[in-house]
Amino acid sequence: MIYFIMTYFKRNFLLYTFLLFAFTVSSCKDDGNRPPNPPEPTKPEIRELTGKWKLRGIFDVEADTLKKLKPKDGFDPQTGNTFVDCYTLFFDTVEWYPRYNFLYVRVLDEKLKPNPNDSTMSNDEELNKIFKKFGVISYKQSYPKSSNEYLLTFYGIRFKGNIDSLENLLKGIFEYVERMECAPRPFMGTLVLWTFDFNYIIDYTLSTFQFKCMKRIDTDIYDGDFYYNILDDVREFELKENELKLYYNDRKNYLLYDEVK
């Protein structure tokens, strides 16, 4: 009797186990009625930093205050000067000097100035031989629209040859020779009296930003030097609509710019 009971239980246990397994497998099949997978979230569009940006002021995060730099654009009765576009940054995606070397020179001798009929040559035959040897692409005045007589004496030489060799040769011809290490992407900013060239490194994912190879002619007036020194400390940025924030001092302060269209 016990044998038949154990046999019956064993047979039915195996049957029930098989039926349960078959039901589980069939219930796992896709019957077409399950809800569709949720759509993947769209990545926010990254805006590239371009154009012209005018400083509104320097913001102190802890004190929640905005400091405006002097002078303001316009006529200054204290000095009798008219200031335009002070504390402005110009970003451009165009590579101005691709695959070339670049040197600044200060030219006082009319004979050494660019030939008006050939933008790659000077008015001096001996200098032109050097220019041809080093593959000069252009030889132009750096600040042709400046009202400052000192700035008007600076010229830029773009060329393909070896920068060390040409720099050494030109030091025996011009009283001032300076190389631009940051080609091919120089950009421009303004202080009060002076403009300055710069390059930069930006990471849109990490929101990091750093000015590189900043170059100006001389010290400035008003808050120009104060502003210029801050730029060298910038390490992060935030770009929203028409506002640009350049953070420094461990994000305790930032330079706040408005886009100029």
| Nearest of 250, 237, 154 to residue 197 by alpha carbon | 154
Structural domain ending residue among the three candidates 143, 158, 184: 184
pTM: 0.56
Structural domain ending residue among the three candidates 144, 160, 184: 184
Question: Both 106 and 152 in a single domain?
Answer: yes
Question: Both 62 and 101 in a single domain?
Answer: no
Please give the residue range of the domain that contains residue 226.
47-94+185-261
Tell whether 22 is covered by a domain.
no
Number of H helices, E strands in the chain: 4, 17
Question: 187 forms bridges with which residues in the sheet?
Answer: 198
* pLDDT given for residue 46 in this prediction: 62
Please calculate the CA angle 106-111-114 and round it to the nearest 5 degrees.
Answer: 65
Neighbours of 213 (CB within 10 A): 14
Please report, as a single letter, which amino acid is at residue 158. R
* pLDDT given for residue 232 in this prediction: 92
What is the C-alpha to C-alpha distance for residues 63 and 255, in angstroms, rounded to an integer? 15
Cα radius of gyration rounded to whole Å, the chain: 34
Structural domain ending residue among the three candidates 165, 184, 203: 184
Residue 230 tokens, joined? 């801050």
Q: What is the pLDDT along the chain (261 residues), one digit of tens a residue?
A: 444 444 544 455 555 554 555 545 444 444 555 566 666 655 455 678 888 999 999 999 999 999 999 998 877 777 677 788 899 999 874 444 445 678 889 999 999 999 999 989 999 999 999 999 999 988 998 877 667 788 789 898 988 888 889 999 999 999 899 876 554 456 888 898 888 888 888 888 889 999 987 888 778 889 999 999 999 999 999 998 899 999 999 999 999 999 998
Query: What are the CA-CA distances from residue 225 to residues 15, 146, 162, 216 (Å)?
Result: 90, 20, 34, 11
What is the C-alpha to C-alpha distance for residues 70 and 67, in angstroms, rounded to an integer? 10
| Per-position DSSP letters for 127-167, written without gaps between them | HHHHHHHTTEEEEEES-TT-S-TTGGGEEEEEESS-HHHHH
Question: Both 152 and 107 in a single domain?
Answer: yes
CATH of the domain at 77: 2.40.128.270
Question: Both 90 and 202 in a single domain?
Answer: yes
* pLDDT given for residue 228 in this prediction: 95
What is the phi/psi pair of residue 104, to 5°?
A: -95, 140
